Amino acid sequence: MFDLLGEHPVAGVILACEVGLWVLLALGLALRYLARMRALSTVVLLCIPLLDVVLVAATAIDLHRGATADATHGLAGLYLGFSIAFGPTLVRWADTRVAHRFAGGPPPMKTPKHGPERRKYLWREWFRVVNAAAISSVTLLALVVFVASPDQDSTLTWWIGRVWVIVGLWFVFGPLWESGRGDKASDRKEPVDIAH
């Protein structure tokens, strides 16, 4: 594994950012609900997006130094997009559960299993994926235009296409699939998870 990270330093940065996300999230929520230090908790949670800045900077530096563009550089762009689009939702999801467990907050509402509320939920999630894909595409395109050399361009643009394939598949197996199922007699309104 260390050989892989040595050959692909951006993979190590992606891994470090993922670990950093969970560490900052756990620390921020512990400060908020266990230590009752809400202001410091907010500062720690606001540091989470800085991990994305570190990742983009590391990717740009690696490409600028002439590294062969590979999957790790493409994944860095995707990671950034999905982190920005889904990060706030993840923080709200965790905050709701920790508040319920340690601070007497209300129980988290369940994700709807079927019916109109389920479809609304799936459409909302799909629009987050579209947002993630747009951010990823802009990031990768910026790397192509401002950083990458001509021989690095094709790998990065290939990843732009892949992220939109993800959008299409998510659409087919998410909101489209659920819309095709239609309402059934067993459908009933269920509350939507407030973290979403």
Q: Are 85 and 131 in contact (CB under 8 A)?
A: yes
Helix, strand, coil percentages for the chain (3-state, nearest 5): 80, 0, 20
Looking at residue 20, its pLDDT comes to 96
Q: How far apart are CA 136 and CA 142, in angstroms?
A: 10
pLDDT bucket at 186, cuts 50 / 70 / 90: very low
- What are the tens digits of pLDDT across the range 129-140? 999 999 999 999
- CB-based burial of residue 135 (10 Å sphere; 0-12 exposed, 13-18 middle, 19+ buried)? buried
Looking at residue 153, its pLDDT comes to 92
